Amino acid sequence: MPHLPNVSASKVIKALCKIGYVFNRQKGSHIILVNPERHKIAVIPNRKEIPTGTLRAIINEAGLTVEEFLKLL
């Protein structure tokens, strides 16, 4: 399993937007993205550095593998 780099919320959002996710709403410090084609939701905490476990959960929510996510970055 490849090592995940430290990434910010804005980089994660940009990566997910490349595969069809769009901003839906923000509640507090969490940004909710929706992919209308795949009918999936991704919740991103608005932080400078997203913890590794949280990032893995976001990747799984989006239906991606770690390798696919790293290519999007």
Q: Give domain status of residue 25, yes or no.
A: yes
The confidence score (pLDDT) of residue 1 equals 63
Q: Give domain status of residue 13, yes or no.
A: yes
The confidence score (pLDDT) of residue 29 equals 94
Q: How far is CA 20 from CA 11, 67, 72, in A?
A: 15, 18, 12
Q: Give domain status of residue 3, yes or no.
A: no
Residues with Cβ within 8 Å of 56's Cβ and at least 6 positions away in sequence, in order, are: 4, 66
Q: Give domain status of residue 4, yes or no.
A: no
Q: Give domain status of residue 52, yes or no.
A: yes
Per-residue pLDDT of the chain (73 residues; tens, 9 = 90+): 678 889 999 999 999 999 999 999 999 999 999 999 988 999 999 999 999 999 999 999 898 999 999 999 9
Domain count for the chain: 1
Looking up residue 51, the CATH number of its domain turns out to be: 3.30.920.30
Q: Which domain holds residue 65?
A: 9-72
Q: Give domain status of residue 59, yes or no.
A: yes
CA 14 to chain centre: 8
The confidence score (pLDDT) of residue 24 equals 94
